[in-house]
Amino acid sequence: MCGIVGYIGKSHCKDLVLGGMQRLEYRGYDSAGFVFVNEKAACLSYLKRTGTVANLAKELSVFDEDGFSGIGHTRWATHGVVNEANAHPHFNCKGNIALVHNGIIEEHESLRNELIAQGHKFLSKTDSEVLVHYFSSLFDIYKSVKKATIELVKKIKGAYSIVVLIEELPDQLLVIRHNSPLVLGRQKKGFFVASDVIAFSDKVDEFAFMPEDSIAVINKNSIQLLDFSGKSLLPVWQESNLAFVDVSKDGFEHFMLKEIYEQKKVIDKIVNFYRLVGTDSKLSASDDLGNALKYQLDIEYQDRIWQQLGLSLKTVKNLKKINLIAAGTSWHACKIGQFFFESISNIQTSVYLASEFCYMPFFKEKDSIFIFLSQSGETADTLQALRLVKSHNVPTVVITNVPSSTMVQESSGFLPMQAGPEISVASTKAFSAQQSILFILANRIALELEKITLQEMKSAEEDLFMVSQVLEMAIENYKWEISNGLAEKYSAYDKYIFLGRHISYPMAMEAALKLKEISYIFAQSYPAGELKHGPIALIDETTPVVLFSALDEIIYKKLLSNAQEVKARSGHLVVFAFEGQNELIGLADYAFVLPKVNPLLAPLACTGVMQFFVYEITKRLGRPIDKPRNLAKSVTVE
């Protein structure tokens, strides 16, 4: 994971690099480091600290030296504990070459041993440090940056984006990309490089994504781009009109809370963005004519949505199988989406965990598509799965919140999530946005296949509007009780079981993930029907069982039996139920009761109040809610 920023040019680099690093903290925040060619001393100067970029920046602010070329790194530890020695930059033995790295170097141990045998001294436990020692020994042999780099990439395996600063070449940055994103930026006064364009989007006139397997040698006036054999490549510059939106907490105590409250707006925005063209006035003015006219407009719109997805109308009409791939919360949204595609579009759907998918045999199926869900569009597991599917010439569709992400660049088409920047590491509004988009997409496919009518499509949109209100209302209804006693009481338990069935099971998985991720309380989710096959042995009064109800009558009855099984063993039961489910509500030690909605949208209705409950529990425990330990917002290592 980790975030990299580099600058070289006519301006002082310290603030530019630190500013970029702050914007990349979502990629890791356990330690940070900055190195530059000190203009006064004409040597490399650096500072590394554990903790956030702000921590590092505070110390650097009293250090009045600066330079015109510098690189920064914000770390998410993979190899070696969190300490200053393992923070980047890393140096060669002479201390005159500095390197930052994002990714993982495979088989680094053998290279490290080779280098140690040659006399190199290592100061860290990281895989990254081998890169700088090896590069340094190659540079000693070849005396050429390009030759040394070409030899370096022949030897190393894994995923890497690397930036190197060499003391004797102060006017040059060396940049290498393989399986890990890097983007270049240029302005009149100099050049930037970073893991994500947001690091410098408002400071450059143009940016260019570095192609896979490429090397850039940047000096103050130009960039030379090469492939791994040394052949010249042309960067594809794009105008940068991506203003950086400095997202604030808007008075909320945490980003997570703000983002929980943004969900109604996000769902409404998604429905408005994706809704069919045409006005209801046409329908009511002259129903028949209105319908006919509107349908023509809709066909055009439908075509546009398939174009955006990179799918021909023929592909959509012939669809026999949908595959959904994601990680974490996005995977839970896919598990809910499966019910949408199977019951609304009547298309068989499989859901895969991205981190497992690449290691299973790939069966190419006719008339199938793969949809990848990722808030960030950078998750390495999901990206690798996308690359694998793409290599089989199967359509790859991405649903992401970040249109400039690597997944969008590499897929055949994408749908924007429209959730706005999600800053808190715990995904909240992205989860609601994903459920909403999958619901709309399932209805759109069903409309195209004539499985539903235009009127049913419209009422699906109305159902989403209604759910967005329920989601917000449920938070409002329970806010006082949660904040005044409930959260305190439930923060005292140190383990939880979450249960669901059918469409409410992914919701139970998501709730368990949310709780463990930010509160560090142990939480385990199970399909409620599995309870009797083992986990029931865990039931006692010290482990709350949180059960998510469903609105399908048969599923509800089955869940009711599971709730009775818990109570019969003196379990402590909390339920998320719906109005009228009195038997279940009666059994519970505490019940959150929500108005009835479209049964397929029941998880979405519960999403807000579940997140708020978890948030408040965590607040009582005094955890760093927006930046939980050991995590990062964007998981860019496999």
Q: Which residues are catalytic?
A: 2, 633
Separation CA 246–CA 358 (nearest Å): 36
Residue 74 binds to ligand M6R (criterion: CB under 6 A): no
Residue 490 CB-half CA count within 13 A? 29
Closest distance to ligand M6R from the beta carbon of 28 (Å): 13
- With tokens 């994103």, the residue in question is 181
Whether 248 and 423 have beta carbons less than 8 Å apart is answered as: no
Contact residue for ligand M6R among 45, 214, 376, 396 (CB under 6 A): 376
Position with the least CB separation from ligand M6R: 328
What is the DSSP code string of 259-289? HHHTHHHHHHHHHHHHSPSS-HHHHHHSHHH
Separation CA 129–CA 178 (nearest Å): 17
Q: Which is nearer to ligand M6R, 379 or 504 (CB)?
A: 379
Closest distance to ligand M6R from the beta carbon of 360 (Å): 19
Separation CA 517–CA 523 (nearest Å): 9
Q: Which is nearer to ligand M6R, 330 or 396 (CB)?
A: 330
Task: Give the CA distances from residue 416 to residues 51, 192, 268, 422, 436, in Å, rounded to whole numbers and listed in that order.
Answer: 33, 27, 14, 14, 12
Residue 351 binds to ligand M6R (criterion: CB under 6 A): no
Q: Which is nearer to ligand M6R, 2 or 132 (CB)?
A: 2
For residue 533, the one-letter residue type is H
For residue 85 the two structure tokens come to 């020695």
Question: For residue 225, which of 158, 173, 277, 275 has the smallest C-alpha distance?
Answer: 173
For residue 344, the one-letter residue type is I
Binding residues among 569-588 for ligand M6R as defined by CB under 6 A:
none
* Residue 103 backbone phi and psi in degrees, to 5: 130, -165
Binding residues among 321-350 for ligand M6R as defined by CB under 6 A:
327-330
Residue 426 binds to ligand M6R (criterion: CB under 6 A): yes
Closest distance to ligand M6R from the beta carbon of 527 (Å): 20
Q: Which is nearer to ligand M6R, 276 or 621 (CB)?
A: 621
Closest distance to ligand M6R from the beta carbon of 86 (Å): 23
Closest distance to ligand M6R from the beta carbon of 25 (Å): 14
Contact residue for ligand M6R among 187, 427, 432, 443 (CB under 6 A): 427
Contact pattern for ligand M6R over residues 382 through 401, marking x by CB under 6 A: x-------------------
- Compute CA 584 distance to the chain's CA centroid, rounded to the nearest angstrom: 36
Residue 173 binds to ligand M6R (criterion: CB under 6 A): no
Q: Which is nearer to ligand M6R, 438 or 635 (CB)?
A: 635
Q: Which is nearer to ligand M6R, 271 or 513 (CB)?
A: 513
* Residue 540: count of CB within 10 angstroms of its CB: 10
Closest distance to ligand M6R from the beta carbon of 81 (Å): 22
What is the H or E stretch that residue 308 is in? helix 287-308
Closest distance to ligand M6R from the beta carbon of 514 (Å): 6
Q: What is the DSSP letter of 347?
A: -
Whether 405 and 380 have beta carbons less than 8 Å apart is answered as: no
Whether 588 and 582 have beta carbons less than 8 Å apart is answered as: no
Q: Facing residues of 178 across strands?
A: 160
Closest distance to ligand M6R from the beta carbon of 373 (Å): 7
Residue 375 binds to ligand M6R (criterion: CB under 6 A): yes
Residue 635 binds to ligand M6R (criterion: CB under 6 A): yes
Q: Which is nearer to ligand M6R, 262 or 517 (CB)?
A: 517
Q: What is the 3-state secondary structure (H, E, C) of 423-482?
A: CCCCCCHHHHHHHHHHHHHHHHHHHHCCCCCHHHHHHHHHHHHHHHHHHHHHHHHHHHHH
Q: Which is nearer to ligand M6R, 101 or 633 (CB)?
A: 633
Q: Residue count at the site for ligand M6R (CB under 6 A)?
A: 16
Q: Which stretch binds ligand M6R (CB under 6 A): 26-34, 276-284, 371-379, 494-502?
A: 371-379
Whether 579 and 594 have beta carbons less than 8 Å apart is answered as: yes
Question: For residue 628, which of 613, 615, 612, 610 has the smallest C-alpha distance?
Answer: 615
Whether 412 and 433 have beta carbons less than 8 Å apart is answered as: no
Contact residue for ligand M6R among 150, 398, 425, 503 (CB under 6 A): 425
Contact residue for ligand M6R among 517, 552, 616, 626 (CB under 6 A): 517
Q: Which stretch binds ligand M6R (CB under 6 A): 126-134, 232-240, 423-431, 548-556?
A: 423-431
Closest distance to ligand M6R from the beta carbon of 343 (Å): 24
Closest distance to ligand M6R from the beta carbon of 425 (Å): 5
Q: Which is nearer to ligand M6R, 302 or 618 (CB)?
A: 618
Whether 290 and 284 have beta carbons less than 8 Å apart is answered as: yes
Q: Which is nearer to ligand M6R, 162 or 521 (CB)?
A: 521
User: Going by C-beta distance under 8 Å and a sequence separation of 6 or more, which residues neighbour residue 180?
Assistant: 102, 103, 159, 160, 161, 195, 380, 636
Residue 618 binds to ligand M6R (criterion: CB under 6 A): no
- With tokens 């690099």, the residue in question is 17
Q: Left, alpha or beta for 534 (phi > 0: left; psi -120 to 50: alpha)?
A: left
Q: Which is nearer to ligand M6R, 263 or 375 (CB)?
A: 375
Separation CA 523–CA 541 (nearest Å): 15
Closest distance to ligand M6R from the beta carbon of 379 (Å): 3
Q: Facing residues of 9 across strands?
A: 190
Separation CA 257–CA 616 (nearest Å): 9
Q: What residues make contact with ligand M6R under the rule CB under 6 A?
A: 327-330, 374-376, 379, 382, 425-427, 513, 517, 634-635
